[in-house]
Amino acid sequence: MQRFEVRRRQAYTVSLLRAQLVLALVGTAGAFGLERAGGAASFALGALVAVLPHVFFVQRMGIFSSHRVRGANRLLRAAAGKFGLTVALFTLMFVTVPPSNPTFFFSAYVAVISTHWLAPWLMLKTRRTTD
């Protein structure tokens, strides 16, 4: 039972990351169609600011590692690191590379973060009932 749960979490994580990357690519292409390079760059940066902390969180939680330590302390540290990385990336983006179109930047960030709401649809293939 535990092995199935680990595989289910790994499958969900891969599906979520895939959905986030597809959303980022489609959104960047749409922004390029609307506002050319400036809009596409803003959308891509917003998606990057959303995806990188998620990847950090997954790595920190050890979802794909064979040595798994469970506990609230690991979750708390991973969430705190994700929050800190998000703040650092926002600061870095606005100080070094201000987005040419903040609407696309924040739209991309919110859209990528909102993909967690797609969890029921992402898990349809891996859902299994016990008899």
Percent over 90 (pLDDT), the chain? 44
User: How far, in Å, are 58, 81, 119 from residue 75 at the CA level?
Assistant: 10, 10, 19
Residue 122 in tokens = 């992402």
- 59-72 confidence digits (pLDDT tens): 888 777 756 566 77
pTM above 0.85, yes or no: no
Examine residue 6 and state whether it is found in any structural domain, yes or no.
yes
Give the model confidence (pLDDT) of 46-62 as tens digits: 999 999 999 999 888 87
128, part of any domain: no
Q: What is the pLDDT of residue 1?
A: 47
Tell me phi and psi for residue 11, to 5 degrees: -65, -40
Q: How many domains are there within the chain?
A: 1
Does any domain span residue 46?
yes
Q: How many Å apart are CA 101 and CA 109, to the nearest integer?
A: 13
What is the residue range of 25's domain? Answer: 2-120
